[in-house]
Amino acid sequence: MGRLTGKIAIVTGGGGLGIGHGISLELARDGAHVVVVELDVPAAEKICARIQAEGGKASFLQGDVSRAESIRAMIGKVIEEHGRLDVLVNNAGIGLIRPPADASEEEFDRLMSVDLRGVWLCCKCAIPQMQRQNSGSIINIASVHSRATMRNYGLYAAMKAGVAGLTRGIAAHYGKDGIRANTVSPGLVDSPQNHEIIAQFAPSVEGWMRNFVEQAQALPWLIQPQDVGRTVAFLASDDARSITGAEIPVDAGTWIRLPGEN
Judged by the rule CB under 6 A, the positions of this chain that interact with ligand NAD are: 12-13, 15-20, 37-40, 43, 63-66, 91-94, 114, 141, 143, 186, 188-189, 191, 193-194
CB within 8 Å of 4: residues ≥ 6 apart: 27, 30, 31, 32, 86, 87, 233, 236, 237
Torsion sign (Cα): 51, 54, 56, 57: positive
174 is catalytic: no
Gap between the Cα atoms of 170 and 35, Å rounded: 22
Q: Shortest Cβ distance from residue 159 to ligand NAD (Å)? A: 8
User: Residue 163's Cα: distance from chain center in Å?
Assistant: 11
Residue type, 8: I
Residue type, 100: P
Q: Which residue in the list 60, 156, 174, 234 is annotated as catalytic?
A: 156
Gap between the Cα atoms of 161 and 164, Å rounded: 5
Q: Shortest Cβ distance from residue 194 to ligand NAD (Å)? A: 5
Contact (Cβ atoms closer than 8 angstroms) between residue 197 and residue 208 = no
Q: Shortest Cβ distance from residue 139 to ligand NAD (Å)? A: 11
Among 126, 89, 57, smallest CA distance to 237 is for 89
In angstroms, the first-to-last Cα distance of the chain is 46
Torsion sign (Cα): 128, 146, 8, 68: positive
41 vs 172, beta carbon nearer ligand NAD: 41
Gap between the Cα atoms of 174 and 100, Å rounded: 34
15 vs 56, beta carbon nearer ligand NAD: 15
17 vs 133, beta carbon nearer ligand NAD: 17
Q: Shortest Cβ distance from residue 196 to ligand NAD (Å)? A: 10
Q: Shortest Cβ distance from residue 156 to ligand NAD (Å)? A: 7
17 vs 73, beta carbon nearer ligand NAD: 17
113 vs 135, beta carbon nearer ligand NAD: 113
Gap between the Cα atoms of 194 and 171, Å rounded: 31
Residues noted as catalytic: 156
